[in-house]
Structure 1
Amino acid sequence: MPELKPPVGEVLGLEGTAWNLSAAVFGDDLVALHSSPYAPPTGGIHPREAAQHHASVMREVIARVLPAAENLQAIAFSQGPGLGPCLRTVATAARALSLALDLPLVGVNHCVAHVEIGRWATGFDDPIVLYASGANTQVLGYLNGRYRIFGETLDIGIGNALDKFARSHGLPHPGGPVVERFARDGNYIELPYTVKGMDLAFSGLISAAQESKAPIEDVCHGLQETGFAMCVEVTERALAHAGKDEVLLVGGVGANSRLQEMLREMCEDRGARFAVPERTYLGDNGAMIAYTGRVMLEHGALLPIEESQVRPGYRADEVPVVWRSEPGEAVRGLTLEGGPLRGAEAVVEVQGGDVAKRRVSKRYRNELLDRRLITERTRAEARLIAAARRAGVRTPVIRDVTADTIVMERVEGDVLKYAMSEETLRLAGVAVGRLHGAGIIHGDLTTSNMIFEDNRCVLIDFGLAHVSAELESRGVDLHVLFQTLESTTDEHEELKAAFARGYAGVFPGAGEVLAREREVELRGRYL
């Protein structure tokens, strides 16, 4: 495991964002760790009851680790995101220790701590991270001093989704391990699959699973195969977009062996490395807070007690990552000149003046699900490219379509992710405004799917496109693009404003859509 430098003594870390109260001491390595999870007698976690549990066992949990410290330098605590009552209980204990021991305080972002303990435990340097836990499902990558969020759940986290399903069938909490056991003896059944660019949603999947009359083993199997395939797909899309070669899985749901297997297969097929920390560091634990607190202490990121209010909606991309000095690489240039180009879903190959886009089978997906997605997306893409072009949106001209391949004209120009400026974003806004005016939702509005040819924006990759005049669908469409901008550039506010100008110039309902996009963004906060 990587060594810290220079040694700064030990840090006591307190974690208690939700169901698990945990304390740890971390020095050059983990010195001591003790946890006391809250187990609700029935149903899910009630924030107030969980906080009462934390308060009742706080003294005992700290007492089990504090004597192991020989040179304690600071007190770190999970400042957020999390359940307000739980966060406040832990913060109160951390402040009391800080004052009693006359030691500085370090406020740690819970999500960032998962990433950092994962990097330490695996030795990975600059990975794409799938963070899958109860309340969070996010894909993150580092760029210019922040962990940028490439995509995330638009409703509930994958862990909470599994818990919700388990409760509906009278299964114990937490639901994930129970679902995993049932799934081993089940067969695949078809359930809703909802991916929107690099974002995803689980509510429809869970509702359908709850209502299914199939045997419980089959429902659990289909639930895992569908939900985890969604997670792996958005991770692969971020990996392809960013051009990185490492994938790290963190969070409590990361303990699921099937999710690990699917991610490993995806990485093997793409030539990327995959790692998951040992189980001790996967779920919510004090070690990740103590370790990250020690790294922050080493770089002077202290928290005055008067500024130590908890932050239930604390986003990973709000944290200045002062302990990493490298800029990071958000996107890597890829071209068709050297031969076939593999994106997240398809292989694209030049055929004279045209290109052939062939969707490839995914080894990590169930065969029936894989075949259905390839066929549905190929047909929908061809149909909606043609419909968009008829509506005045610049798209490639289609030459031929088969079950898995579309042959279309080759568009020469610069991909937006390598040519971002206020003018290109304004032109992108015009193109998307016309698309929405025609009742078409692109579904994957990333900066990889817009090409600028002769000062005009050409929209490509309609594989997730669909027809809708709903305000919600349009808002989500813009959110996918805005999320990509935020994950790849520090100038995202100016670029979003330029896009909005172009969008409003051609689409009369732009104001309502932009307001809805903001609502969608807020839903991504910790629930």
Structure 2
Amino acid sequence: MPETGHILGIEGTAWNLSAAVFGGDRIIALHSSPYRPPSGGIHPREAAQHHAGEMKAVISEVLKDPSSIEAVAFSQGPGLGPCLRTVATAARAIAFSLGVPLIGVNHCVAHVEIGRWACGCDDPIVLYASGANTQVLGYLGSRYRIFGETLDIGLGNGLDKFARSKGMTHPGGPHIEALAQKGEPIHLPYTVKGMDLAFSGLVSAAQESQAPLEDVCAGLQETAFSMCVEVTERALAHSGKDEVLLVGGVGANGRLQEMLTTMCGERGASFYVPERRVIGDNGAMIAYTGSLMLAAGQTLTPEESAVNPGYRSDEVVVGWRDAGADAAYARADVMGGGGARGAEAAVTPAGDDVIKRRLPKGYRTPPLDHRLISERTRAEARMIAAARAAGVRTPVIRDVTPDAIRMERIEGTLLKHLLTPEHVYDAGACVGRLHGAGIVHGDLTTSNIIISEGVPVFIDFGLSYRSDETESQGVDIHVLFQTLESTSRNAECLKEEFVRGYATTFSGATDVILRVDEIRQRGRYL
């Protein structure tokens, strides 16, 4: 008798057309036909034409027993519009001919789910690094929430752009990795904004560098990957989770895997990365996620099956996971008498004060690590004093060394454990005072605000800087809003209260909040 209960999955969001059959908790068949442009990058129309021409052959390789197929799943987005439409058309036709349900799968969520299945992890912080997407994700309340993401281009696209400028063929990542192993990393721009990232300045600087190509490739990898690992560690520290999962095509890079392994080892977390055949874009991830969605009753009618090139991972209702599996926050009082360790530093008691010492990071090269520690320690001391002058309560600085600050001990509870409308409103008013004084916090999360005697106290100014620009202020608040969305079921109400408080102390509040919405839109498929 033929096996039953199998799901056919078709992936074709960009350059790789792939199909698979999943069933019985295993990948029955998997076959791919990548589009490789003769020169330059991916042209959406040409990639779609490739997919259309190869569709029959790819499907035939995996669909040996049509009678066993219970549903057809396809990548509904995000991705390149022409490619998505080609795949969706094929999926509709096959589902109709077989008389089975149609399932539209979010490409990003599929990466996460195949990773969880392949590695056996439960509730990880996910670093999703692919061509067009770079995100840090965590699960909360039936959705994958975005802790941080690229504000301009995806990491893989950035690497490909650099590679093309140096005459390398697509995809550029493997060429860069091979050259980097022969070079010494050069200094390049490092842009982390809270848990968000920006790669365009880094790539442009690498393109313009006159250093030997091997050294530029090494610098590009070390800088970009250190940024990704840093924001992953921030999400790990903020959420209290103890697993990290790496997915997406860039995740095949050995150096990135090594850096995440080191970071997780330093934090006592478990690190997972799926095997190469399922870490990049592939039909198995669509088929497997389709099987989860079918069991949860999440199927589509043909009228509902339009593709969505900007389909965000946090828009998907994850009906196949326990909605109660919220983030397990570690309730450490970072400024209290017992001391604690955050993403960047350890805080230890020293009489009536505390000493915050930035910790060396084994995943970063020593020159980069020393530079960041020194720069951030000096910046934090300066900006804490500036924030106090602007009327925002901060710890009083007692002493500063190249890697540590001795400061007043603040007894209280982190805002992330006291997410009441009143406290968030007060925090908004304080941020308004900061922005009014031309201060951008740079790491505005609920882990960096302590409620002490009912008053918000702002800490951790290591990423702060001076700016009166609406863009910079918008990114500041965007970081906070992402934190609220990724950790609270009441995020919309809390954001409204923050805005109310913000507007009471900052005359430019309306323009900044409008910019926050624009910044959020940029996080869609780029």
- Measured after TM superposition, the shift of residue 442 of structure 1 is 0.2
Equivalent residue runs for 1:72-471 within 5 Å: 72-330=69-327, 331-335=329-333, 339-471=338-470
| 1:45 aligned residue | 42
TM-score, length of structure 2 as denominator length: 0.98
- Measured after TM superposition, the shift of residue 68 of structure 1 is 4.8
- Measured after TM superposition, the shift of residue 70 of structure 1 is 5.7
Partner AA of 2:160 in structure 1: D
The answer to whether the 8 A contact 2:179-2:218 is kept is: yes
Q: Distance in 2 between matches of 1:228 and 1:451?
A: 31
The answer to whether the 8 A contact 1:242-1:329 is kept is: no
> The residue matched to 1:406 in structure 2 has which SS?
strand
The answer to whether the 8 A contact 2:333-2:414 is kept is: no
Give the direction of change, closer, same or farther, for the CA distance of 1:68–1:177 in structure 2 (3 Å limit).
farther
Indicate the RMSD between aligned Cα atoms, in angstroms: 1.2
> The residue matched to 1:64 in structure 2 has which SS?
helix
| 2:23 aligned residue | 27
Partner AA of 1:251 in structure 2: G
Partner AA of 2:9 in structure 1: G
Query: Taking every aligned residue pair, what percent have the same amino acid on both sides?
Result: 69
TM-score, length of structure 1 as denominator length: 0.97
Deviation string for 1:389-436 (max 9, x for gaps)? 111111111111101000111112221100012111110111000001
Q: Distance in 1 between matches of 2:345 and 2:413?
A: 20
The answer to whether the 8 A contact 1:161-1:206 is kept is: yes
- Measured after TM superposition, the shift of residue 8 of structure 1 is 6.9
> The residue matched to 2:288 in structure 1 has which SS?
helix
Unaligned runs of 5+ in 2: none
Point out the more displaced range, 63-72 or 254-263.
63-72
| 1:4 aligned residue | none
| 1:3 aligned residue | none
Unaligned runs of 5+ in 1: 1-6
Give the direction of change, closer, same or farther, for the CA distance of 1:340–1:455 in structure 2 (3 Å limit).
closer
Q: Distance in 2 between matches of 1:349 and 1:519?
A: 40
The answer to whether the 8 A contact 2:66-2:98 is kept is: no
Q: Distance in 1 between matches of 2:444 and 2:333?
A: 20
- Measured after TM superposition, the shift of residue 493 of structure 1 is 1.2
Q: Distance in 2 between matches of 1:303 and 1:421?
A: 38
> The residue matched to 1:498 in structure 2 has which SS?
helix
The answer to whether the 8 A contact 1:25-1:68 is kept is: no
Partner AA of 1:290 in structure 2: A
> The residue matched to 1:238 in structure 2 has which SS?
helix
- Measured after TM superposition, the shift of residue 335 of structure 1 is 2.8
The answer to whether the 8 A contact 2:473-2:512 is kept is: yes
| 2:5 aligned residue | 9
- Measured after TM superposition, the shift of residue 439 of structure 1 is 0.6
Q: Distance in 1 between matches of 2:67 and 2:259?
A: 43
- Measured after TM superposition, the shift of residue 376 of structure 1 is 0.2
> The residue matched to 2:64 in structure 1 has which SS?
helix
The answer to whether the 8 A contact 1:83-1:312 is kept is: yes
- Measured after TM superposition, the shift of residue 338 of structure 1 is 7.8
> The residue matched to 1:88 in structure 2 has which SS?
helix
The answer to whether the 8 A contact 1:18-1:83 is kept is: yes
> The residue matched to 1:447 in structure 2 has which SS?
coil
> The residue matched to 2:348 in structure 1 has which SS?
strand
Deviation string for 1:326-367 (max 9, x for gaps)? 522323312356843110000011112211100000000010
Partner AA of 2:345 in structure 1: A
> The residue matched to 2:331 in structure 1 has which SS?
coil
Count of residues paired in the alignment = 521
